[in-house]
Amino acid sequence: MSKRKPYVRSMDGWWKKNPYFVEYMIHESTALFVAAYVFILLVGVVRLGQGEAAWNAWLEALKSPLSVVCHLVLLAGAVYHTYSWFKILPITMPPVIVGGKKLAPEVLTGTALVVAAAAGLALLALVWRIAL
Amino acid sequence: MTKILKRSNAPIFWGLFGAGGMLSALFVPMMVFITGIAIPLGFLLPAGTMSYPKMLAFAQNFIGKGFIFAIISLSLWFAAHRVYHSLHEFGIHAGTGAKLLCYGIALAGTVVSASVLLRIGF
């Protein structure tokens, strides 16, 4: 075995030194919030498949104060995912040419955020319609 | 030329990531609000919105079933891909093990949701 101990620069907290990378780490971490919510939803689907008693137990569990607080945190994470997803859309998407000119990034992000808000409200309206 | 270039499987995972990221960006915030806040607190939406008969009917409806499956499955592929590629940022040299773990969880979620939704019927 080699006795060499080459110097390896530590990576601890490298991203904390630059606000750009702090934001990057926060927006990357939103995936964990989305995943956590989807797991809760997956449990709900499994419980729905098990019958009425199991489904009602799941609904009851969601009423606990801890669950509501967790969902407020998840909501913040999910909203930030939406915001950051569309903020980087001008970079991740091929350039949109309108009238021979490249569409400004702010216009693209702004339009996408309006579409996202409309999609959310449409979903709420649909749920409302099903409920009545 | 006899050597056949091996095709990369990266576009498949990237495609699932893009679809899941887009779908969750559009709908997950409102879904968190509905299922995790409004319904448990009895706020805004009518009582019984998520009652068993209503949700069973929603999950048996072709569109409802497809929506639930797409949200769960694609969001998990999105999260798995992002977490897998973020390991590098923490100095973890992601190998086959990490790849199997990340995408394996997404695959497991896909299989579980698909099997339950199919068993619920149409």
pLDDT band at residue B56 under the 50/70/90 scheme: very high
The b-or-e profile of A36-55 (16+ CB within 10 A means b, else e) is bbbbbbbebbbbbbeeeeeb
| Cβ-based contacts under 8 A for chains A and B | 152
10-residue stretch averages of pLDDT, chain A, 132 residues long? 80 88 93 97 97 97 97 98 95 87 92 96 92 80
| Alpha-helical regions (H) of chain B | 10-31, 39-41, 52-60, 62-86, 96-120
Q: How far, in Å, CA of B103 to CA of A34, rounded?
A: 15
Average pLDDT of chain B to the nearest whole number = 92
Half-sphere exposure (Cβ direction) of B92: Cα atoms closer than 13 Å: 12
Mean pLDDT of all residues in B47-67? 94
Q: Is there a contact between B120 and B56 (Cβ–Cβ < 8 Å)?
A: yes
Q: Which residue has the higher pLDDT, A9 or B80?
A: B80
DSSP string, A62-100: TTSHHHHHHHHHHHHHHHHHHHHHHHSHHHHSPPPEETT
The interface predicted TM-score (ipTM) is 0.92
The pLDDT value recorded for residue B2 is 63
The pLDDT value recorded for residue A96 is 86
pLDDT band at residue B122 under the 50/70/90 scheme: confident
Nearest to B49 among A79, A82, A131 (CB): A131
Token look-up 């879904």 returns B31
Nearest to A123 among B21, B27, B40 (CB): B27
Whether B40 sits inside 8 A of A72 (CB atoms) is no
Q: How far, in Å, CA of B3 to CA of A114, rounded?
A: 50
The pLDDT value recorded for residue A1 is 60
Nearest to B78 among A34, A48, A130 (CB): A34
Token look-up 């808000």 returns A117
**A60 token code pair:** 């009851």
Domain range annotation of chain B:
15-120
pLDDT band at residue B10 under the 50/70/90 scheme: confident
Angle among Cα A77, A79, A84 to the nearest 5 degrees reads 90
Q: Which helix (H) or strand (E) holds A110?
A: helix A105-131
Mean pLDDT of all residues in B38-45? 93
Token look-up 């069973």 returns B56
What pLDDT digit, counting tens, does each position of B92-105 carry?
A: 877 888 999 999 99
Least confident of A14-18, B49-53, B72-76: A14-18
The pLDDT value recorded for residue B1 is 55
The pLDDT value recorded for residue B20 is 96
Domain B15-120, CATH: 1.20.1300.10
The DSSP call for residue B5 is: P
For testing contact with chain B, the best of A23, A42, A58, A83 (most B CBs within 10 A): A42
For chain A, say whether B15 makes contact (Cβ under 8 Å).
no
Rg over CA atoms, chain A: 22
